């Protein structure tokens, strides 16, 4: 969960709002737990949505969903344009991106790496929109941990999505003080990734393919000894 607060509201609401967003994700995760391994991903998603929406009903904010879930796969969801919070006069405004469960298939199979996600931002003074909706599409993403960030900042190396895979792996390996052969790359197991998979293996790195749950996977490099 990421949260950005405007300076004028920070001292008044930071203590409360941040924890309320955390509680909303916790409620979604806990309420979907009873569907773990039961083969019904839509029921798990509905349980998470109900719990998260219920927590928002208690939050003194004016929240509007600008990026929602459920439309893509016609599953239960909290949708774009939905208003969340009490909307009491004078309460802070938030644009919200939300996914009660990323990885519903994993929950239905009893597999790990599902996660409840919220990103929220309050518009700065004079700005109407803090978060913008974008069309749904597949995107190339690259995630790496703090050691790689520190290395690239110190040495001037740069990781770019358009760079050759072998070049990126070489930089990561140097940052981690490993051989490329000792680096493991995690990615979704999809036919559209075949070319990248081949390039990773040609470079000598190992692969850990996952069926779903790429948000949790993207967080993994930031966990020590992951």
Torsion of CA 217, 223, 224, 225, to 10 degrees: -20
Distance, in Å, from the CA atom of 114 to the CA atom of 216, rounded to the nearest integer, reads 7
Distance of CA 174 to the CA centre of its chain: 27
Residue-wise pLDDT for 28-54, tens only, equals 999 999 999 999 999 999 999 999 999
Percentage of residues of the chain with pLDDT beyond 90: 74
| Percent of the chain clearing pLDDT 70 (strictly above) | 90
Of the pLDDT bands very low, low, confident and very high (cuts 50, 70, 90), residue 2 is low
Model confidence at 13, in pLDDT bands (50, 70, 90)?
A: low
pLDDT band per the 50, 70, 90 thresholds, residue 134: confident
Residue 135 has pLDDT above 60, yes or no: yes
Q: Would you say 50 and 57 are in contact if contact means Cβ atoms under 8 Å apart?
A: no
Please tell me the predicted confidence (pLDDT) of residue 130.
87
* pLDDT > 80? residue 58: yes
Per-residue pLDDT tens digits for 139-163: 889 999 999 999 999 998 889 999 9
Q: Which domains does the chain have, with CATH numbers?
A: 2-121 (3.30.540.10), 146-222 (3.40.190.90)
Residue 72 in this model has a pLDDT that exceeds 70? no
Q: Can you give the pLDDT at residue 218? A: 94
In 3D space, the residue among 78, 57, 61, 80 whose CA is nearest the CA of residue 121 turns out to be 61
**How high is the pLDDT of residue 14?**
58
Q: Quick check: 8 pLDDT over 50? A: no
């Amino acid at each position: 969960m990421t949260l950005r607060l405007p300076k004028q509201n920070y001292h008044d609401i930071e203590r409360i709002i941040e924890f309320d967003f955390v509680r909303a994700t916790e409620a979604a995760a806990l309420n979907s737990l009873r569907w773990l391994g039961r083969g019904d991903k839509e029921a798990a998603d509905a349980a998470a949505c109900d719990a998260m929406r219920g927590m928002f009903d208690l939050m003194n904010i004016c929240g509007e969903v600008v990026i929602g879930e459920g439309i893509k796969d016609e599953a239960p969801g909290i949708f774009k344009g939905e208003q969340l919070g009490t909307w009491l006069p004078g309460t802070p405004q938030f644009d919200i991106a939300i996914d009660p469960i990323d990885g519903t298939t994993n929950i239905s199979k009893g597999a790990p790496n599902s996660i409840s996600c919220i990103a929220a931002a309050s518009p700065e003074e004079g700005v109407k929109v803090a978060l913008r909706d974008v069309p749904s599409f597949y995107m190339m993403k690259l995630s790496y941990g703090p050691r790689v960030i520190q290395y690239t900042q110190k040495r001037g190396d740069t990781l770019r999505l358009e760079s050759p895979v072998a070049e990126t792996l070489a930089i990561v390996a140097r940052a981690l003080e490993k051989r490329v052969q000792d680096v493991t790359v995690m990615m979704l197991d999809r036919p559209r990734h075949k070319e990248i998979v081949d390039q990773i293996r040609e470079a000598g790195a190992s692969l850990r393919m996952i069926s779903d749950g790429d948000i949790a996977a993207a967080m993994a490099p930031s966990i020590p000894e992951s």
